[in-house]
Amino acid sequence: MRAPGWSVGLDIGGTKVLGVLLDDVATVRGSVRVPTRRGTEGVVAAAAEVVEQLCADARMAVDDLAGVGAGVPGLVDPATGAVSHAVNLGIDDRGVALAPLLSARLGGVPVAVENDLNVAAVGAARVLGLRGDLALLGLGTGVAAGLLLGGGLRRGHGGGAGEIGHVPLDPAGPRCPCGQCGCLELYASGSALDAAWPSPPGVPAAAAVFGAAALGDPAAVRVRDRFAGAVAAAVRLLVLTCDVEHVVLGGGVAEVGQPLVTAVREQLERQAAGSPFLRSLAIAGRVTVVPAGVPVAPVGAALTAREAAPPPVGAAWR
């Protein structure tokens, strides 16, 4: 017998699968994390392991769940649950039927698959209590945004809405793996910080550079400000194209927390100093950050699983 509203959400990333069990009022009742296994079969096996462990810990059967939601990096067809170009997961094929495969592995429980930043946007809106249009700006290996506009996800014609990391920031800059030059993610991603500020093993580059900058290291201050300026350009792009009320910084770099928000806001103020138009938009005040340790992506994935498939564009999430 299924528990109304109880669902599991999965954040399937390149290094880990993080799952949460949500009850009918969206309270997290359990959390499990396992290493990612690459390839279609490996991803399905790791995802199923997390679901089964969450249910075992809660002393419920898997088929008691109303559904399972999964956020994955890559292009997703939410209607079919097919995933393409999830290269960080070792899924290079087009249209791997991840949702049906995982559903079959779990005995037929409904599974909804969505882009990872889309579910993170849904989760951020719910967990942080934010209403109105929202962009979740993911600052990780790359840069992209999940968009909640008009109460629903904006996926775009081909699922590419929010892929702002491949908007050129400097056309004369270095070549991006996408084939263009000077793409935004070459300057505003966690990978960019890794390259600009090598850190000791086990210490994230973002934490190292922001920590050194706070202590007054001139080189670290330059790296921090250059990075924050690129993130500010991404924020400005999201506001000027979608006029979102909230831009929530997420991803690995966001673990820095408030110092990141402060640095980005300072850069936005500097960039708006010569423009009455930009000043009128008050962009800096729209920026916030996912609190450290808050699992917005799996929570958002669990919310999408309350129906057998994600709701259509324009449907309310709350």
CB-CB contact of 113 with 70 (8 Å): yes
94 pLDDT tier (thresholds 50, 70, 90): confident
CB 305, CB 68: distance < 8 Å: yes
| Exposure string for 43-80, b = 16+ CB within 10 A, e = fewer | bbebbbbbbbbbbeebebebeebbbbbbbbbbbbbbee
Rounded to 5 degrees, φ, ψ at 278 are: -65, -40
Q: Which residue has the higher pLDDT, 182 or 86?
A: 182
The domain defined by 7-116+297-308 folds into Nucleotidyltransferase; domain 5 (3.30.420)
Number of Cα atoms under 13 Å in the Cβ half of residue 32: 20
pLDDT value at 138 more than 90:
yes
Rounded to whole angstroms, what are the CA distances from 56 to 21, 42, 63, 101, 108? 11, 21, 12, 21, 17
**Percent of the chain, pLDDT > 70?**
95
Strands 96-97 and 67-72: unpaired
Give the integer Cα–Cα distance in Å for 87 and 10. 18
Fold of 120-289: Nucleotidyltransferase; domain 5 (3.30.420)
Tens of pLDDT along 184-239? 999 999 999 999 998 888 889 999 999 999 999 999 999 999 999 999 999 999 99
- Determine contact, residues 12/301, Cβ cutoff 8 Å: no
Model pTM? 0.87
Contact 99, 80 (CB under 8 A): yes
- Contact between 122 and 311 under an 8 Å Cβ cutoff? The reply is no
The residue extents of the domains of the chain are: 7-116+297-308, 120-289
120's CB contacts (< 8 A; 6+ apart) are: 11, 71, 136, 138, 146, 250, 290, 296, 297, 300
The residue type found at 198 is: P
Taking a C-beta distance cutoff of 8 angstroms, is the pair 74, 86 a contact? yes
Confidence bin at 82 (pLDDT 50/70/90)? confident
- Does 7-116+297-308 match 120-289 in CATH topology? yes
Confidence band, pLDDT 50/70/90 cuts, at residue 3: low
User: For 29-33, 61-65, 132-136, 155-159, which range has the lowest pLDDT when averaged over its residues?
Assistant: 155-159
What is the rounded distance in angstroms from the CA atom of residue 264 to the CA atom of residue 250? 13
Tokens of 94: 């087009």
Residue-level pLDDT at 310? 39
Mean pLDDT of 3-12: 88
> Average pLDDT over the chain, rounded to whole?
90
